[in-house]
Every structure is written in C-alpha cells, then in structure tokens.
C-alpha cells in the first residue's frame, strides 16, 4: 500500500503539529533533528516534506505532497484548490487591525479624506474583509516588519497576525479590532483524496481520536 507524502511547515506551528502527528504513531525523529534537510523518508515509509508555510498549499495542490498541515490564514490568503478536511485546533492566532496608540488615525483620515492606507502581508484577506463592509482602503503589501509602517508614516494602520500582541505593544501599536481567528488545518490533494482514500482516511481518523473533545473537527 502506497504511503503518504506529508508537507509540514517550519516555524510557529511546527512543534504542535509534530507532537500531534507523533501521538498518532508517525515517526518525526529525523524531521525534528535536522532543520536544514527538506525531505525525510521514515522507516514506516511516510515521506515528510518541510517547507515555508506559504508553500505548503502549493505542494499539496499540485500533487508533490498528498497531505499538508498549515494555518487557515495561509489557506485563505493563498486560495489554493485543495480539500480542507480537519481543524486541528492548534497554533491559534488572530488577524487584527492595529494603529498607533491614542486617537485612531485611520478613523480621522477616513473622515476627512474618505480613505486610509493599510500595510499588511495579507492583502487578499484584508481587501476582502474591508470591501465586504463597504470600505476600500489603499492596501500596501509588505514582507518585513509590518509594525514599522505606521511609525514612519507609510500607513495609518496595519493588518497582521498576532497570538499575544506583545510585538505590537512593544511598538506602541493598539489593536482596534479582530478580522479573523485562525487555527492549523489538515489539507489533502484532490486526487489523493480519492486515490489514497484508505491511507488518508486512516490518518484522519487517528488524528480525530487524538484531538481534545472540545476541538472542532470540521473544515470551517
């Protein structure tokens, strides 16, 4: 029986995801022990591919991996054609709108000029969120330290991910409201979902059993 090729992302959700996969019997010893290697073949036959979070949905969509584990934020921003089959309830974070402390400059700008500038790494989600509410901000896409943008006058506010809000507070930014709440999801290639149904189904069932009772099991 063909074994699965699983895409994992290094970074914030790696530890929790790896621990959960180990609880259901997968061997991630070598994956944990070598952060530079990209492909790992386990004794049980499972192949692990490690890459940056934004690339996981791409590897899964195009069949380089059968299964992937990645944050819902990445899925929404990427818009890839994959099956989302399980909410793991781990790696929780929030996408929030923040501006410098004090009077909200975005509201002042909107009141006088009719628009405002928002810096973000997530232009797609940001645009969709504001447009759904009849607001059309000027969205500036950045890839580095988003907190810098309002401090140097590039934008009135930012939309960024946070779990604790510490970095924003350290840069004297104040969270104004939350756009979305995210957790880690299991995704499956559409062909593999059919051709490898027994293997995918077995992994899915084991993961569901390992999750706390209060953890959502759907794909919302």
Sheet containing strand 67-71, edge to edge, reads 39-41, 47-51, 5-9, 67-71, 184-188, 83-87
> Nearest-CA neighbor of 77 among 92, 49, 56?
56
Confidence of residue 84 (pLDDT cuts 50, 70, 90): very high
Q: What is the pTM of this model?
A: 0.85
Residue pair 124/131 in contact by the 8 Å Cβ criterion: no
Q: Which CATH class for the 93-179 domain?
A: alpha beta
The answer, yes or no, to whether residue 89 has pLDDT greater than 60, is yes
Angstrom distances, CA of residue 129 to CA of 17, 76, 122? 28, 12, 11
CATH of domain 5-92+183-210: 3.40.190.10
Domain boundaries in the chain? 5-92+183-210, 93-179
216 vs 181, more confident: 181
pLDDT for 102 equals: 85
pLDDT for 205 equals: 96
Angstrom distance (rounded) from CA 99 to CA 176? 7
Average pLDDT over residues 169-186: 93
CB neighbours of residue 153 within 10 Å: 9
Residues of the chain with pLDDT > 90, as a percent, come to 72
5-92+183-210 and 93-179: identical CATH topology: yes
The answer, yes or no, to whether residue 70 has pLDDT greater than 80, is yes
The answer, yes or no, to whether residue 218 has pLDDT greater than 50, is no
> What HEC string does the chain produce?
CCCCEEEEECCCCHHHHHHHHHHCCCCCHHHHHCCCCCEEECCCCCEEEEECHHHHHHHHHCCCCCEEEEEHHHHHHHCCCCEEEEECCCCCEEEEEEEECCCCHHHHHHHHHCCCEEEECCHHHHHHHHHCCCCCCEEEECCCCCCHHHHCCCCCEEEEEECCCHHHHHCCEEEEEEEEEECEEEEECHHHHHHCHHHHHHHHHHHHHHCCCCCCCCCC
The answer, yes or no, to whether residue 44 has pLDDT greater than 90, is no
Residues of the chain with pLDDT > 70, as a percent, come to 92
């Amino acid at each position: 029986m063909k074994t699965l090729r699983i895409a994992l992302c290094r970074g914030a959700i790696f530890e929790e995801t790896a621990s959960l996969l180990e609880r259901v019997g997968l061997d991630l010893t070598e994956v944990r022990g070598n952060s530079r290697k990209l492909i790992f073949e386990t004794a049980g036959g499972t192949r692990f591919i490690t890459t940056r979070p934004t690339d996981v949905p791409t590897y899964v969509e195009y069949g380089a991996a059968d299964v992937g584990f990645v944050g819902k934020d990445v899925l929404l921003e990427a818009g890839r054609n994959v099956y989302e089959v399980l909410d793991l309830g781990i790696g929780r974070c929030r996408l929030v709108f923040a501006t410098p402390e004090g009077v909200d400059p975005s509201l002042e700008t909107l009141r006088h000029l009719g628009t405002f500038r928002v810096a973000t790494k997530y232009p797609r989600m940001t645009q969709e969120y504001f447009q759904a509410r009849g607001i059309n901000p000027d969205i500036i896409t950045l890839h580095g330290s988003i907190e810098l943008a309002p401090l140097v006058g590039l934008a009135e506010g930012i939309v960024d991910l946070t779990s604790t809000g510490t970095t924003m507070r350290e840069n004297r930014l104040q969270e104004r409201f939350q756009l979305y709440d995210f957790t880690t999801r299991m995704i499956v290639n559409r062909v593999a979902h059919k051709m490898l149904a027994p293997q995918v189904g077995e992994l899915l069932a084991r993961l569901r059993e390992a999750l706390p009772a209060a953890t959502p099991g759907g794909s919302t």
